[in-house]
Amino acid sequence: MSTQDLQVSTVAIHGGRTLDSHASSILFPLYQTSTFVHDAVGVDKGFSYSRVSNPTVDALEKVIGALEGTPPAVCFRTGMAAIATLFLSVLKAGDHAVISDVVYGGTMRLFREVLDGLEITASFVHTSDAANVEAAITPTTRIVFLETPGNPTLKLTDIDAVAQITKRHSILLAVDNTFLTPILQKPLLLGADISVLSTTKYIDGHNATVGGSLATRDEKLLERFRLIRKTIGTTQAPFEAWLTLQGIKTLPARLRLHCEGASIIARWLEDHPAVERVYYPGLDSFPQKALARKQQSSPGAMIAFELKAGVEATIRALNSVKLCSRAESLGGLETLITHPSSTTHADLDPELRRSLGISDGLVRLSVGLEAAEDIIADLDQAFVAAGCAETTEEVSHEIR
Amino acid sequence: MKFASRLVSFDPAPGDRFRPISTPIYQTATFEQEHADSFGEYDYSRSGNPTRAVLEKHLASLENGSRGFCFSSGMAAISTVTKLLRSGEEILADSDLYGGTCRLFSKILDRSGIVARYADASDPERFEQQITPSTRLIHIESPTNPLLRVIDLRRIAAIAHDHGALLCVDNSTMSPYLQNPLDLGADIVLHSATKFLCGHHDVTAGAIVVKDEKLAEQIYFVQNAEGNSLAPFDCYLLLRGLKTLKLRVDCQQRNALAIARFLSSHQDIQRVYFPGLIENRGYAIQRSQARGAGSVLSFTTGSVELSKAIAEHAKLFRITVSFGSVNSSISLPGAMSHASVPPEILAQRELPPDLVRVSVGIEDEEDLIADLDRAICRAKERTSIATGAEIPR
């Protein structure tokens, strides 16, 4: 049976399985080995050295590819290794990239501090307006790189609109789909050429591993990714791949619960008198709600919000949470709360941060799988403890 | 093939289509079957697992046996052997026995009506006198832990077989590199694989190897029925650690002999227990049945206070139970590894309270000796100050 005929929740469980494993174990074995014995000089069994490829990593690549609707993906030690490989694969000295201004800070740092020295340049533009992408394209532009929803303000970019532009200019379009995963948004169906994932987030889902992946239907690009990966040695490790394979099985089920919780919490936040503003694509107040409906099958489980009481009170509130954890990263079972301006986006120029809508009072919430009531009660007590809010009446009344 | 070669040249992945150089970790509970009414080679990981199968076969070969079995701990392996006995049958064990084994024999097995008795097996004539018609199993370690007494394994095997009993030898202090009890007549060899086999303090495991096929079937039956086999990831770590067994033991033994000589000539050390010293009572037997003296040794100081202070002042020798690892360790068996010996049995056995056991690792010999020298010196200063302070004014 081809995985194309199966539903995602089935593919997540069976997409990485290869039934001809000699012992027919229900789980794919962990090939924690650096090298493989050759049958004869120059004759191997498809694997020769784990920096190049490894059966367990291969199984993970199959399932991610099946979820993306592509040939097997290419997996990396980290999300940044995937992104760096992508740019090293398609850009050379003198080339240019157009990138969403809301991309993860690490992607910005890659250009500003690493690729810059190789004379590779990038323009960071407000891609929510596709016209800005068109305007930024120069004769040396080779790729447009989007992140939608953007981090941390959840600003969306119309993938289809940008894809029409990149096709017209015969350049590549890559989308970092980490916030939604191919379960909730399929960039390749919307016209993108490459889908990028930090598998550390929802794909693993248990905060157990660090990893990244690149998926595309373009076989030549896949070859190029593998060449760069083996050359610079950023291949995913077998144990990480094995854990990710286990995590991915519950991805569709987890995402349903993550999104359900996020939607309840976003509405509660919006109704809370201490909250100034909530960014969540599932709210009627979200300016790009229509676009979210068009290209995503769910608003996702990331929320950003600002408190009325200002920066100092916000930091006090963050320091008062008990159930939520103050930690970077997102997409795991545990609810994580972050202060982007001092953590994930601290490296950015304050001026730039403000222009991106990342105020010093902005809070990002990665909604985990705890009961929404418990997360709400924790946030509520943190707002009270920080002096942002009066003690409210029974929290449960506010949950619809 | 020589032992060093056998350690690394085994098939790491029989039948595997990718031919990996390291054994794949089959971290799986169950196996898909081709037919609905019959099982393939593997069906359920409690009953059998490809990663464990590689390790078990490898250990069987290293101990010159026919079948090997790996367990979740050394005690799980020992407990499995005791399942060969029925109510009313007896175990005769050497009196210088690991505390945990003693606890199992005297505090758990008694509930099933199995009686354990203890006698000094380094005196075979007197040991034999303790055998009764109910004695089904003789259980010994050699060299023993912690007194490093050498037991004549050939003699005890002959005695056991004369009386229709099985001989089980706990070979943990030696490893298959230094001693192969099955070749000396034992029926069962077992290991706390946590010790030399692993060698890196990263796995808790046990192993049994036998030659006799019927015995093997009985052991397998218990392993499967009780579900105490070793987990796949631990099997992988053990396979990995085993490869350097010879390198580690060669180095550990060299260091241990140097340390034993240093301690023997040290004025503050009363007695050194180590079968590698020519003056040791078991030296000749050890040479006749093993290829080395190992790297566990004990010593006394004449004062519990001083012994305790030496352990606490040593830096390279960390205070830990267990032995056989690349790291040196130091312990006071009376207070640590043998504290689990039931008091009524402890009363009968010779376990000097000031006994210090060291397991010598692969650190530099000079550093180890300097560390012990300094520790003894500091410990003496401290204990003499402490004694001085106790004198009433």
Q: Quote the pLDDT of residue B77.
A: 97
User: Which alpha helices (H) appear in chain A, and where do they start and end?
Assistant: 8-14, 55-68, 79-90, 105-109, 130-136, 159-168, 181-184, 219-232, 238-248, 251-271, 289-295, 311-320, 350-355, 372-385
Mean pLDDT of the region B324-346: 86
User: Could you tell me if residue A42 is left (phi over 0), alpha (psi between -120 and 50 degrees) or otherwise beta?
Assistant: left
Is A31–B32 a contact, with Cβ atoms under 8 angstroms apart?
no
Q: Which two tokens stand for residue B289?
A: 């049945």
Mean pLDDT of the region B104-126: 95
Q: Quote the pLDDT of residue B393.
A: 41
How is residue B108 annotated by DSSP?
I
How far is Cα A334 from Cα B175, in angstroms, rounded to an integer?
46
Q: Does residue A393 have a pLDDT over 60?
A: no
Q: Which two tokens stand for residue B71?
A: 């367990």
Q: Does residue A269 have a pLDDT over 80?
A: yes
How far is Cα B171 from Cα B209, in angstroms, rounded to an integer?
11
Topology (CATH level 3) of domain A252-398: Aspartate Aminotransferase, domain 1 (3.90.1150)
Which of B8, B21, B25 to probe the A interface (max A CBs under 10 A)?
B25
Q: Quote the pLDDT of residue B35.
A: 83
How far is Cα A329 from Cα B192, in angstroms, rounded to an integer?
42
The beta-carbon neighbor of B236 closest among A32, A34, A39 is A32
Q: Quote the pLDDT of residue A1.
A: 52
Sign of the CA dihedral running B115, B120, B124, B127: negative
Is A37–B34 a contact, with Cβ atoms under 8 angstroms apart?
no
Give, in order, the Cα–Cα distances in Å from B368 to each of A46, A211, B3, B317, B355.
Answer: 48, 43, 28, 8, 19
Q: How many helices (H) and strands (E) does chain A have?
A: 14, 12
Q: Does residue A356 have a pLDDT over 90?
A: no
In the stretch 325-354 of chain A, residues with CB closer than 8 A to chain B read: none
Sign of the CA dihedral running A18, A23, A24, A27: negative
Please give, rounded to a whole number of angstroms, the shortest distance from the CA of A279 to a CA of chain B.
Answer: 42
Is A34–B21 a contact, with Cβ atoms under 8 angstroms apart?
yes
Q: Does residue B391 have a pLDDT over 70?
A: no
How far is Cα B129 from Cα A212, in angstroms, rounded to an integer?
70
How far is Cα A105 from Cα A119, in angstroms, rounded to an integer?
20
Give the lowest-confidence range in A41-55, A60-74, B70-84.
A41-55
DSSP string, A237-259: PHHHHHHHHHHHTTHHHHHHHHH
How far is Cα A259 from Cα A108, in angstroms, rounded to an integer?
28
Cβ neighbours around B307 below 10 Å, total: 24
Q: How many helices (H) and strands (E) does chain B have?
A: 14, 12
Please tell me whether residue A213 adopts helix, strand or coil conformation.
strand
How far is Cα A61 from Cα A65, in angstroms, rounded to an integer?
6
Q: Does B28 touch chain A (CB under 8 A)?
A: yes
Task: Calculate what percentage of chain A has a pLDDT beyond 90.
Answer: 76
Which of A13, A18, A19, A22 to probe the B interface (max B CBs under 10 A)?
A22
Is B21–A33 a contact, with Cβ atoms under 8 angstroms apart?
yes
Q: Which helix (H) or strand (E) holds B54?
A: helix B50-62
Q: Does A26 touch chain B (CB under 8 A)?
A: yes
Q: Quote the pLDDT of residue A397.
A: 45
Is B42–A32 a contact, with Cβ atoms under 8 angstroms apart?
no
pLDDT digits (tens, 9 = 90+) for A278-331: 999 999 999 999 999 999 999 999 999 999 988 999 999 999 999 999 988 999
Q: Does residue B390 have a pLDDT over 50?
A: no
Please give, rounded to a whole number of angstroms, the shortest distance from the CA of B223 to a CA of chain A.
Answer: 20
Q: Does A36 touch chain B (CB under 8 A)?
A: yes
**What are the structural domain ranges in chain A?**
3-248, 252-398
Give, in order, the Cα–Cα distances in Å from A395 to each of A282, A334, A367, A377, B303.
Answer: 21, 21, 18, 7, 66
How far is Cα B254 from Cα B256, in angstroms, rounded to an integer?
5
Burial B175-194 (b: 16+ CB within 10 A, else e): bbbbbbbbebbbbbbbbbbb
The owner of tokens 């945990």 is: B100
Tell me which chain B residue has its CA closest to the CA of residue A53: B18
8 A C-beta contact, residue B270 and residue B299: yes
User: Could you tell me if residue A239 is left (phi over 0), alpha (psi between -120 and 50 degrees) or otherwise beta?
Assistant: alpha
The residues of A annotated as belonging to the active site are 51, 104, 176, 201
Please give, rounded to a whole number of angstroms, the shortest distance from the CA of A75 to a CA of chain B.
Answer: 20
Cα B48-B50-B54 angle, rounded to 5 deg:
105
Q: Does B353 touch chain A (CB under 8 A)?
A: no
8 A C-beta contact, residue B73 and residue B206: yes
Q: Does B38 touch chain A (CB under 8 A)?
A: no
Q: Quote the pLDDT of residue A396.
A: 47
Which of A14, A18, A20, A24 to probe the B interface (max B CBs under 10 A)?
A24
Cβ neighbours around B161 below 10 Å, total: 14
Q: Which two tokens stand for residue A191?
A: 């016209």
8 A C-beta contact, residue A185 and residue A295: yes
Is A37–B20 a contact, with Cβ atoms under 8 angstroms apart?
yes
Q: Quote the pLDDT of residue A43.
A: 84
The owner of tokens 């503050």 is: B268
Tell me which chain B residue has its CA closest to the CA of residue A29: B26
Cβ neighbours around B315 below 10 Å, total: 11
pLDDT digits (tens, 9 = 90+) for A178-211: 999 999 999 999 999 999 999 999 999 999 999 9
Q: Does B9 touch chain A (CB under 8 A)?
A: no
8 A C-beta contact, residue A230 and residue A88: no
Q: Does residue B388 have a pLDDT over 50?
A: no
How is residue B231 annotated by DSSP?
P
How far is Cα B51 from Cα B13, in angstroms, rounded to an integer?
8
Please tell me whether residue A155 adopts helix, strand or coil conformation.
coil
DSSP string, B296-342: EEEEE-S-HHHHHHHHHH-SSSEE-S---SSS-EEE-TTTTTTTTS-
Q: Quote the pLDDT of residue A249.
A: 94
Q: Which two tokens stand for residue A126?
A: 């407000």
Q: Quote the pLDDT of residue B349.
A: 81
The sheet carrying B329-331 orders its strands as B271-273, B296-300, B356-359, B329-331, B318-319
How is residue A76 annotated by DSSP?
E
The count of residues in chain A is 400
How far is Cα A318 from Cα A321, in angstroms, rounded to an integer?
6
Most distant CA atoms of chain A, gap in Å: 76
The count of residues in chain B is 393
How far is Cα B280 from Cα B286, in angstroms, rounded to an integer?
10
Q: How confident is the model at residue A21 (pLDDT cuts 50, 70, 90)?
A: low
Domains and CATH numbers, chain B: 3-242 (3.40.640.10), 245-390 (3.90.1150.10)
Q: How confident is the model at residue B386 (pLDDT cuts 50, 70, 90)?
A: low
Measured N-to-C along each axis, helices A79-90 and A219-232 cross at an angle, to the nearest 10 degrees, of: 120
Give, in order, the Cα–Cα distances in Å from A262 to each of A147, A255, A367, A371, B9.
Answer: 20, 10, 6, 10, 55
In Å, how far from its chain's centre is CA A314?
A: 26
| Residue A263 neighbours by CB under 8 Å, 6+ apart | A280, A282, A299
Q: Quote the pLDDT of residue A346.
A: 82
pLDDT digits (tens, 9 = 90+) for A137-159: 999 999 999 999 998 999 999 99
Q: Does B29 touch chain A (CB under 8 A)?
A: yes
Which of A18, A21, A25 to probe the B interface (max B CBs under 10 A)?
A25
Q: Quote the pLDDT of residue A303.
A: 98
Cβ neighbours around A312 below 10 Å, total: 12
| Residue B335 neighbours by CB under 8 Å, 6+ apart | none
How far is Cα A132 from Cα B194, in angstroms, rounded to an integer?
64
Question: What is chain B's mean pLDDT, rounded?
Answer: 94
Is A27–B31 a contact, with Cβ atoms under 8 angstroms apart?
no
Burial A26-39 (b: 16+ CB within 10 A, else e): ebbbbbbbeebbee
Question: What is chain A's mean pLDDT, rounded?
Answer: 92
pLDDT digits (tens, 9 = 90+) for B217-248: 999 999 999 999 999 999 999 999 999 999 99
How far is Cα B97 from Cα B45, in angstroms, rounded to an integer?
33
Task: Calculate what percentage of chain B has a pLDDT beyond 70.
Answer: 98
Most distant CA atoms of chain B, gap in Å: 88
Picking from A66, A73, A83, the residue whose alpha carbon sits closest to that of residue A122 is A83
Q: Does residue B32 have a pLDDT over 70?
A: yes
Cβ neighbours around A116 below 10 Å, total: 12
Q: Does B339 touch chain A (CB under 8 A)?
A: no
Please give, rounded to a whole number of angstroms, the shortest distance from the CA of A230 to a CA of chain B.
Answer: 18
State which CATH number among 3.40.50.720, 2.30.30.40, 3.40.640.10, 3.40.630.30 fits the domain covering A3-248. Answer: 3.40.640.10
Cβ neighbours around B334 below 10 Å, total: 21
The residues of B annotated as belonging to the active site are 46, 98, 170, 195
Indicate the pTM of the whole model: 0.87
Q: Quote the pLDDT of residue A238.
A: 96
User: Could you tell me if residue B297 is left (phi over 0), alpha (psi between -120 and 50 degrees) or otherwise beta?
Assistant: beta
Q: Does residue B387 have a pLDDT over 70?
A: no
